[in-house]
């Protein structure tokens, strides 16, 4: 798992809840309790400039997909990381990825390949 999540889980209080995250009483979150706690945490993180406005837990899925896509992962890998069965969902979540850097590398590789082929054949292609 990613190092930040591993650190959080390693330092989380022990609990007997059957869910990944538990409240301060060691029991699973109710939806309303989680929403309230998340809202307070999000507001503080926004004020401290640590996150952008309006971040949601669902938005973290988009963020993960975008980061993975921008770092060169294929759609199957992204789908697997998100727990999705289809690559269509990975494509959906990663749609905001900025691929300009990747495409610069593609163009550079293409130019190099063209130059290599020209030097072999002497053609202008």
* Three-state DSSP class for residue 28: strand
pLDDT of residue 84: 92
Mean pLDDT by 10 residues, the chain (125 residues): 84 79 82 90 93 86 93 94 93 92 90 92 61
Torsional sign, CA 87, 90, 95, 97: negative
pLDDT of residue 19: 78
Domain ranges of the chain: 1-51
pLDDT of residue 124: 56
Residue 22 β-bridge partners: 28
pLDDT of residue 125: 53
In degrees and rounded to multiples of 5, residue 22 shows phi and psi of: -125, 160
pTM over 0.85? The answer is no
DSSP assignment, residue 17? -
pLDDT of residue 13: 81
């Amino acid at each position: 798992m990613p190092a930040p999540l591993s650190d959080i889980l390693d330092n989380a209080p022990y609990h007997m809840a059957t869910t990944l995250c538990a409240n301060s009483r060691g029991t699973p979150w109710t939806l309303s309790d989680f929403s309230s706690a998340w809202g307070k945490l999000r507001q503080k993180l926004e004020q401290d400039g640590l996150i952008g406005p309006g971040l949601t837990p669902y938005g973290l899925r988009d963020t993960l997909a975008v980061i993975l896509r921008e770092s060169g992962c294929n759609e199957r890998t992204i789908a697997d990381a998100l727990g999705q069965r289809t690559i269509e969902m990975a494509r959906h979540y990663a749609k905001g990825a900025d691929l300009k850097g990747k495409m610069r590398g593609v163009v550079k590789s293409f130019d190099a390949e063209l130059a290599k082929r020209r030097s072999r054949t002497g053609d202008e292609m």
